[in-house]
Copies of this chain bind each other. A is one copy, B any other.
Amino acid sequence: MMTADISVSARATTMSSDDIKSDMNGERQAPMQVIVDLCVVPLGVGVSVSEYVAACQRVIEASGLGYRMHAYGTNIEGPWDAVMAVVKACHERVHAMGAPRITTTLKLGTRTDREQSMDDKVASVETRLRASDPGASEA
């Protein structure tokens, strides 16, 4: 278990630095950032899957990336290659635990117009909700 954790975060680090490219003027460009929503479902292991979901949470935690679990998946944010290394490591871990088959659903959001974190996305909607709430008392 430890081995896999270490290898994930090592790979993640390597990939982030690999991912820094130079544009046509020779300037370094930041790697493409992504926010994903990851839901890993093991098949052939019975009806309870929380043991496998918990194992994925440890893989994600070990990567050092920002993440937040919800009731139907986990949001993860960071450089594309680092996040994708975590998704692959989750599949490898869950297979290593004995699951013969996995089906995963992944949403991936990227944008080039501006930086936006998971917290920014939620705050942006919450600000709109407060601003337009007919029961709110703002001046």
Contacts and interface: CB of A to CB of B under 8 A. Distances in A.
B110 A91 contact: yes
A11 to B, nearest CB: 11
Q: Chain A at the B interface: mostly helix, strand, loop or mixed?
A: mixed
Q: Which of A81, A88, A102, A112 has the most CB of B within 10 A?
A: A112
Interface residues of A, number: 56
Task: Report copies per complex.
Answer: 4
Given A41-B41, A50-B128, A129-B54, A71 B101 contact: no
Contacts of A106: 105-108
Interface of A: 32, 35-37, 39, 41, 43-44, 46-47, 49-51, 53-54, 57-58, 68-73, 75, 77, 80-81, 84, 87-88, 91-92, 95, 100-113, 118-119, 121-122, 124-125, 128-129, 132
